[in-house]
Structure formats: structure tokens, C-alpha cells
């Protein structure tokens, strides 16, 4: 029998990642030194109190049933955290869990869009933003994020006929991959734009705790009117090194939260209870570790940005996220080809910017997942390879 899968899948391409991974494995098999700046998973361990809460809960056989709902104690923990951390007052019915922001963002469009609707997405884009828009069947409109505009959208450049048809707009700061933050005025402008055109704002907040040089990492919901127009995805993955546990929240406008809850109730039976208990431990536990970890990321960021600048690769400073976003060195224009050449000549593996959309071409992304000493060695390898002297 011939198995025919859905045409929908033809949209999803993995080409360059497969090629880069194969090349990296080939290099490693030959005993070559590999500096892996490719992965987007923190190398730091989960904090011990979070692991303990998970393990304790996992001992109880009762906790292996379908959970069906978010535990009240977890919703209360999110509510208290948002007040203590961001000064934002929310009620527990304005929160729902998702199995990671990845899952939630992929599905939220299906709860919001009808055929003919438009979804506004950033370019460069974190890939699941596009997937969410695509799966919802909406038309995708990409707004450009340019370095000359500090990677902020020019809202007045979005054509009025597009804005009028737009159902929701994805926004995220500090933003992976461009590593920029947004000033408070930007959110005021965004909320006014949303109200003018009746566009839902979905803010992806994965990196408010990984932010540099003393800048405050906040929440979209701190801004006046935010809850009227949208929701925020708030992930525990990166702040607490819980990427594998899959826990994130959608917080804000109750109508949007309820729509997502209804949709999710059709395909999910609730989050594993030990995961919910671990989330409570993270949200209620000491915050000192989060700050100490941010300082470690800062040391890595400084090592990479200063290291590359010192060898003649003048990259933009990273303002937030666990990444750096570097314009290609002089003489290069194709990010895929550059990544391949860089890996062959130096063992340094990074992600081509084109993987994030057309506006990503001309850039590469480095993940800050190696200690500063390794980063310094990688910079030396780049310098000695002569690749910057083209
Ligand atoms: C911008 C952004 N949003 C969302 C996610 C996914 O987070 P989660 O682990 O909560 O699915 C990531 C993970 O790298 C990310 O970089």
C-alpha cells in the first residue's frame, strides 16, 4: 500500500540543519575539535530544589493519573510570581499551562483564526511562530526587523489593508534570534496599534531572566492596556533550566486564555503532576540562582562579543537571550555557505541566519552554551583559520 501523508507537511523543511549536523558528526568522528554553538538548550543543570520536587512527586502513584486540570497551587504560584517579579496583578482564571511555549504557540492560532484571517509574524522569526500561523490556515504576513531599527518593527509600515485583516501579531523581546530588547515606549505604541486595528498581541517571553548589562527584563503585561489586547507566553525552560520538563504558561486576556483552554481540552489531558509540582518549586523557590546564572551567561556573552571583536569580526552586542546574532564578516553574503566553511576550517558550529527567514540572511546565530574559556578558544581558532581575512 502506498502511504500518502498530508500536503501540509511539505511546508516543513529541515535541509540545512540536517546538512550541518551531518557535517558536525563527520568532523567529530575524525577526531576534530568541535565548538558547538548550534544548540538552543542550556547546558546548565536544573536547580536542585526543582529536581527534588519532581522526584518527590514522581514517588506517589496517585500522580500518574491524568491530571486533567492545572493544579490550583500551580496557578497560585504563577499569580504570585507575576506580582513579585513584574508587579503584574492577574487572577488564576487568566492563566493556563501549555506543554512548553513551543506547543502553545504552534496551537494558539487554531483557537483564534478563521480562513481569510492574517497573522503578523516577525522576520527573522523564531520558527514555531510561522508554524503556528501556518497550521491555523491563516495567511502569513511577515514584518521586517532590521538592525538599523534596533530590530523593532515599524508598525506604520504594515499596510493598512493587511492590518485590517490581521487577527494576531507575534512579538517577542528579548528576542531569539536577534538578541534585541524593546524599550517600554515600544509596547505603548504596540498596544495602541493593536487597539486601532483590533489585532490580538501574543508576546513570547522566554528570556526575561537572561538579559545583560543591568537592563531590566520585564513582562508585556506590565504595560497599560496589555491585558485588553493580548496574552504572554511565559516559559520556565530557560530561566530554570527545565527545557525537558515542558512547562510554560499563557497569561493575560481571559477570552484568549479560555479559547486556548477549550482547544487544548480536545487534544490533551493535562500536564503530568510531577511537572506541575516542579513548576511550583521553580516559581516559589529562591531567585538568587536565576540571577547567578544570568551572570554566567553575561560572562559568556562578553567572551564571545569581545572575543570576536578583538579578532576583527565586529558583531552587534547581545542585549538579551542565550544567543548572539552576528552579521557575516566582510566578504561573505550566504549564511549557509559561511556556516559550512566556518565549521570545516575551525570546528565552530553555528546556525545560519537564513534558517530564521529572509531577513536572517547575512547573519549567523551563536548559542551561549559553552563556558568562557571554550569560547575564547573558539575565537582563537577562527582567528588562526584566516577566514576573516577574505
Ligand atoms: C523565542 C523562543 N520562544 C519559545 C521557545 C520555546 O520554549 P519552550 O521550551 O517553553 O517550548 C524558545 C526556545 O528556544 C525560544 O527561543
Strands 248-252 and 95-98, by their bridges, are antiparallel
Whole-angstrom distance, CA of residue 359 vs CA of residue 348: 23
Q: Give the nearest ligand 1 atom to 236 CA.
A: 10
Question: Which residues, at least 6 apart from 287, have a Cβ–Cβ distance to it below 8 Å?
Answer: 85
**Which residue, judged by its Cα, is nearest atom 7 of ligand 1?**
101
* Strand, coil or helix: 355: helix
Query: Which amino acids bring their CB within 6 angstroms of ligand 1?
Result: 40, 100-102, 126, 172, 176, 204, 206, 235, 237, 243, 248
- Quick one: DSSP state of residue 236? S
**Which residue, judged by its Cα, is nearest atom 3 of ligand 1?**
206
In CATH terms, the fold of domain 48-284 is 3.40.640
Whole-angstrom distance, CA of residue 268 vs CA of residue 103: 11
Q: How far is the CA of 203 from the centre of ligand 1 (A)?
A: 12
Q: How far is the CA of 91 from the centre of ligand 1 (A)?
A: 24
The predicted-structure confidence for 55-114, as pLDDT tens digits, reads as follows 999 999 999 999 999 999 999 999 999 999 999 999 999 999 999 999 999 999 999 999
**Which residue, judged by its Cα, is nearest atom 14 of ligand 1?**
40
Q: By the 8 A CB rule, do 347 and 381 touch?
A: yes
* Strand, coil or helix: 92: helix
Q: Give the nearest ligand 1 atom to 105 CA.
A: 4
Q: Mapped to the 3 state alphabet, what secondary structure does 238-267 carry?
A: CCCCCCCCCCEEEEECHHHHHHHHHHHHHH
Question: Which residues, at least 6 apart from 390, have a Cβ–Cβ distance to it below 8 Å?
Answer: 329, 330, 331, 332
- The torsion angles phi and psi of 153, rounded to 5 degrees, stand at -75, 150
**Which residue, judged by its Cα, is nearest atom 16 of ligand 1?**
176
User: What one-character-per-residue DSSP string does 201-235 give?
Assistant: EEEEES-TTSB-TT-----GGGSTTHHHHEEEEEE
Strands 118-123 and 166-171, by their bridges, are parallel
Q: By the 8 A CB rule, do 303 and 375 touch?
A: yes
Domain with CATH 3.90.1150.10 in the chain: 7-45+289-389
Kindly report the number of other CB atoms within 10 A of residue 347's CB atom.
Answer: 20
Pocket test of ligand 1: the residue of 41, 100, 101 to mutate, having most ligand atoms within 8 Å of its CB, is 101
Q: Over 80: is that where the pLDDT of 148 sits?
A: yes
Whole-angstrom distance, CA of residue 5 vs CA of residue 265: 26
Q: Give the nearest ligand 1 atom to 176 CA.
A: 1
Whole-angstrom distance, CA of residue 280 vs CA of residue 50: 8
Read off the pLDDT of each residue in 325-350 and give the average, rounded to a whole number: 95
Pocket test of ligand 1: the residue of 108, 178, 206 to mutate, having most ligand atoms within 8 Å of its CB, is 206
pTM: 0.96
Strands 363-367 and 351-352, by their bridges, are antiparallel
Higher pLDDT residue, 10 or 379?
379
Q: Over 90: is that where the pLDDT of 390 sits?
A: no
Q: How far is the CA of 297 from the centre of ligand 1 (A)?
A: 17
Whole-angstrom distance, CA of residue 286 vs CA of residue 277: 15
The predicted-structure confidence for 248-258, as pLDDT tens digits, reads as follows 999 999 999 99
Site of grid cell 518593527: 153
User: What one-character-per-residue DSSP string does 363-381 give?
Assistant: EEEEE--S-HHHHHHHHHH
Decide: residue 373, CB within 10 A, 0-12 exposed, 13-18 middle, 19+ buried: exposed
Give the model's pLDDT for residue 21: 83
Q: For the chain, where are the E strands, in sequence order?
A: 35-36, 95-98, 118-123, 139-144, 166-171, 200-205, 230-235, 248-252, 323-327, 348-349, 351-352, 363-367
Whole-angstrom distance, CA of residue 384 vs CA of residue 109: 48
Q: Average pLDDT, whole number, for the chain?
A: 96
Q: How far is the CA of 78 from the centre of ligand 1 (A)?
A: 18
Q: Over 90: is that where the pLDDT of 297 sits?
A: yes
Q: How far is the CA of 363 from the centre of ligand 1 (A)?
A: 20
The predicted-structure confidence for 349-386, as pLDDT tens digits, reads as follows 999 999 999 999 999 999 999 999 999 999 999 999 99
Kindly report the number of other CB atoms within 10 A of residue 200's CB atom.
Answer: 23
Domain with CATH 3.40.640.10 in the chain: 48-284
Give the model's pLDDT for residue 15: 65
Give the model's pLDDT for residue 13: 74
To the question of domain 7-45+289-389 being in CATH 3.90.1150.10, the answer is yes
**Which residue, judged by its Cα, is nearest atom 12 of ligand 1?**
206
Whole-angstrom distance, CA of residue 269 vs CA of residue 266: 8
Q: How far is the CA of 185 from the centre of ligand 1 (A)?
A: 25
Q: How far is the CA of 345 from the centre of ligand 1 (A)?
A: 31
Whole-angstrom distance, CA of residue 350 vs CA of residue 335: 10
* Strand, coil or helix: 166: strand
Q: Determine the distance from the C-alpha atom of residue 324 to the mean position of all C-alpha atoms in its chain, rounded to a whole number.
A: 13
Q: Give the nearest ligand 1 atom to 238 CA.
A: 9
List the Cα angle 69/71/75 in 5-degree steps.
Answer: 110
Amino acid at each position: 500500500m502506498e502511504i500518502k501523508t498530508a500536503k501540509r507537511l511539505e511546508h516543513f523543511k529541515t535541509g540545512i540543519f540536517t546538512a550541518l549536523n551531518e557535517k558536525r558528526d563527520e568532523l567529530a568522528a575524525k577526531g576534530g575539535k568541535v565548538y558547538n554553538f548550534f544548540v538552543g538548550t542550556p547546558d546548565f543543570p536544573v536547580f536542585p530544589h526543582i529536581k527534588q520536587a519532581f522526584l518527590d512527586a514522581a514517588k506517589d502513584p496517585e500522580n500518574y493519573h491524568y491530571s486533567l486540570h492545572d493544579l490550583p497551587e500551580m496557578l497560585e504560584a504563577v499569580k504570585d510570581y507575576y506580582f513579585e517579579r513584574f508587579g503584574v496583578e492577574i487572577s488564576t482564571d487568566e492563566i493556563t499551562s501549555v506543554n512548553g511555549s513551543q506547543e502553545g504557540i504552534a496551537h494558539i492560532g487554531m483557537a483564534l483564526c478563521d480562513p481569510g484571517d492574517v497573522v503578523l509574524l516577525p522576520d527573522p522569526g523564531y520558527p514555531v511562530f510561522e508554524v503556528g500561523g501556518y497550521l491555523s490556515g491563516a495567511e502569513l504576513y511577515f514584518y521586517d526587523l532590521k538592525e538599523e531599527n534596533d530590530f523593532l518593527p515599524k508598525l506604520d509600515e504594515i499596510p493598512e489593508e493587511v492590518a485590517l485583516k490581521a487577527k494576531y501579531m507575534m512579538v517577542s523581546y528579548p528576542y531569539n534570534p536577534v538578541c534585541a530588547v524593546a524599550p517600554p515606549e515600544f509596547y505603548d505604541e504596540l498596544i495602541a496599534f493593536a487597539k486601532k486595528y483590533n489585532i490580538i498581541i501574543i508576546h513570547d517571553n522566554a528570556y526575561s531572566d537572561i538579559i545583560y548589562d543591568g537592563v531590566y527584563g520585564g513582562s508585556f503585561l506590565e504595560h497599560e492596556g496589555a491585558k485588553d489586547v493580548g496574552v504572554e507566553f511565559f516559559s520556565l525552560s530557560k530561566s530554570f533550566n527545565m527545557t525537558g520538563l515542558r512547562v510554560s504558561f499563557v497569561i493575560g486576556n481571559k477570552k484568549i486564555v479560555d479559547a486556548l483552554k477549550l482547544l487544548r481540552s480536545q487534544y490533551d489531558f493535562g500536564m503530568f503532576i510531577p511537572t506541575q509540582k516542579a513548576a511550583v518549586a521553580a516559581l516559589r523557590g529562591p531567585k538568587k540562582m536565576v540571577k547567578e546564572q544570568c551572570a554566567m551567561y553575561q560572562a559568556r556573552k562578553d567572551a564571545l562579543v569581545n572575543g570576536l571583536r578583538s579578532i576583527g569580526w565586529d558583531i552587534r552586542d547581545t542585549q538579551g537571550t542565550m544567543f548572539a546574532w552576528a552579521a557575516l564578516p566582510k566578504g561573505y553574503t550566504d549564511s549557509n555557505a559561511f556556516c559550512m566553511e566556518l565549521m570545516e576550517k575551525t570546528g565552530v558550529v553555528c546556525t545560519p541566519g537564513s534558517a530564521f527567514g529572509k531577513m536572517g540572511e547575512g547573519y549567523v546565530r551563536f548559542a551561549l552554551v559553552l563556558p568562557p574559556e571554550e569560547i575564547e578558544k573558539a575565537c582563537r581558532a577562527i582567528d588562526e583559520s584566516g577566514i576573516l581575512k577574505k
